[in-house]
Structure 1
């Protein structure tokens, strides 16, 4: 009997030591410690305008700074549009100057030359427009028969639309030049002068818009970070809103853990926590509680044991405030809440 009693005592002592040892050597066994994975905020970079990629300056894994050029889209048509807008601005200003100074014989001759040149520019654009419209009609037939892709058809449509815009701009130049000539020959009134001042303002706004569109074709990084994914290739034609690259912001690291409802009482926004990463055993980092879900959910099955998956928990987001130069996205870590 005494031997059995001694055996029982040793067994109970072994179990007690095992439990205490597990709590001491394994932080995850602590009821206030929760496991998670370090994550970083991913920022998709998307152009506001579409076009062909003519420069792609980064590769996956590359470290970049805010303002670095990531890519450039074909800006040839945008430069033409800007040139047209600038020409219209000059014409509008010249007309206003004529109105304010009175038309002289040499000014009338100059305006006549402007009309002639504007008509020549219009005539030069017309054959090219007709040619590209015929190509578009042929491409539409090929697309309907499945011989070409939608991307090829869209590219041809963009070319026709651009030429139409240039043609309409040239036609507007003819009309403006002719109107200027007519006004110079007929004489000017005060309402005409006021209307022309408004036309100068509108022309200036058109130049600003054209410059803005041109600048938008150079894609710059909104933040410093690391290129996580390169989603496109050089020469690819992209639409507005297409994700070109995805940037990982290493300054915004965080961990999401799942805490049982019974533990919510010891949590508050802005509260500090301790973080231990597997990559740095024995070293503790700090974090703060940025978000506590107000909606319960079942414990994710990849986080806890099968028996615990039926437990309802609340998602808690921890922002890492210390060790950003050491901790990396993807590292497993344990978060310990303060009692």
Structure 2
């Protein structure tokens, strides 16, 4: 009987100890979670960096892909090359046309060479000789036609013979007119060569040289655009294409992360929004560097609320409305990394 009473007393003592421990625990938790100061300016977020899509202006087949995911590259490093065989042919053609146009301009500016004048003089002589020969033939065939017409009147030949002779004479006259045009053209070329090239002709050739020069520049620009370079230093986050793939203009080849443009976004309750100003500062702390903070500057405060209840009726409910605040990290960029959880204390 005594033993039973002792056991009962022990159970009551243990129960009392458990109750005391529970009360102590609740007291600690209460102080920690229910008696925190409500005026804290600390907020949590994740450090992020700007992602830069690298896209070609022109399409084509990828013949070289120089980067891999995770690789750190510098501004100006080659990321990829597209097939440039057609672009090189276009450039070579443009350069050839430029050389030809410049040579013709140099010839015009230098005046006609003596051999060119001799050549044109010879052409004029040949054209005049041909014209004289045709004139003699025409006179001869005119006499033949006159004789045939007399014979037709006396019944010595048929009308078909006379018509054939008339057609022969008409053909010679047409040839004579063509020969006369050739003489005029050859003489005009000789006159121009002897007098020197007129200014409008030179100006027109200068314009032709300028056009070919612009064509060369355009071809060189097209060729340069087939080499895709990094616009800034950073880290390759994703590679979206593979070697040999045919891509269109504007296709994202890789996505880069700019480590020099770190920022963090936090959410501030409406009740404390008056304490937040663009240009203000904040202290950023991360677990990787305990006891150390890094400065940040407020870039903007959103003018639209987030996480807002559908019906905001009371003052207490309005305090649940938050606004996004973005801070640029101004120091510690060599230590902080995108993806790190961080706490921000606004000042």
Q: Is the pair's TM-score, using the shorter chain for normalization, greater than 0.5? A: yes
The CA deviation at 1:312 is 2.2
**Residue equivalent to 1:230:** 239
The CA deviation at 1:15 is 5.9
Q: Distance in 2 between matches of 1:183 and 1:310?
A: 94
The CA deviation at 1:289 is 0.4
Runs of 4+ in 1 over 3 A off after TM superposition: 9-24, 105-108, 182-188, 307-310
TM-score by length of 1: 0.66
Q: Distance in 2 between matches of 1:261 and 1:66?
A: 42
Q: 1:322 aligns with which of 331, 337, 342?
A: 331
Secondary structure of residue in 1 paired with 2:303 = coil
Superposed CA offset, 1:168-188 (max 9, x none): xxxxxxxxxxxxxx9899644
How many residues end up aligned between the 2 structures?
A: 251
**Residue equivalent to 2:266:** 257
The CA deviation at 1:285 is 1.6
Q: Distance in 2 between matches of 1:30 and 1:16?
A: 22
Segment of structure 1 superposing worse, 217-226 or 274-283: 274-283
| Rg (Cα) greater in structure | 2
Q: Is the 8 A contact 1:270 1:289 kept in 2?
A: yes
Q: 1:191 aligns with which of 191, 200, 211?
A: 200
Pair 208,309 (structure 1): closer, same or farther in 2 beyond 3 Å: farther
**Residue equivalent to 1:283:** 292
Give matches, 1:1-339, under 5 Å: 18=29, 20-21=31-32, 31-104=40-113, 187=193, 188-298=197-307, 311-338=320-347
Secondary structure of residue in 1 paired with 2:102 = helix
Q: Distance in 2 between matches of 1:315 and 1:43?
A: 23
The CA deviation at 1:254 is 0.6
Q: Distance in 1 between matches of 2:88 and 2:276?
A: 57
The CA deviation at 1:282 is 2.7
Pair 32,72 (structure 1): closer, same or farther in 2 beyond 3 Å: same
Superposed CA offset, 1:85-126 (max 9, x none): 111111111111111112336679xxxxxxxxxxxxxxxxxx
Q: Distance in 2 between matches of 1:23 and 1:83?
A: 79
Q: Is the 8 A contact 2:270 2:318 kept in 1?
A: no
Q: Distance in 1 between matches of 2:260 and 2:97?
A: 47
Structure 1 vs Structure 2 CA RMSD: 3.5
The CA deviation at 1:278 is 2.8
Q: Is the 8 A contact 1:258 1:299 kept in 2?
A: no
Secondary structure of residue in 2 paired with 1:71 = strand
Where structure 2 has 5 or more consecutive residues not aligned to the other structure, the ranges are: 1-19, 118-187, 310-315
Pair 185,73 (structure 1): closer, same or farther in 2 beyond 3 Å: farther
Q: Is the 8 A contact 2:287 2:342 kept in 1?
A: yes
Q: Distance in 2 between matches of 1:16 and 1:183?
A: 114
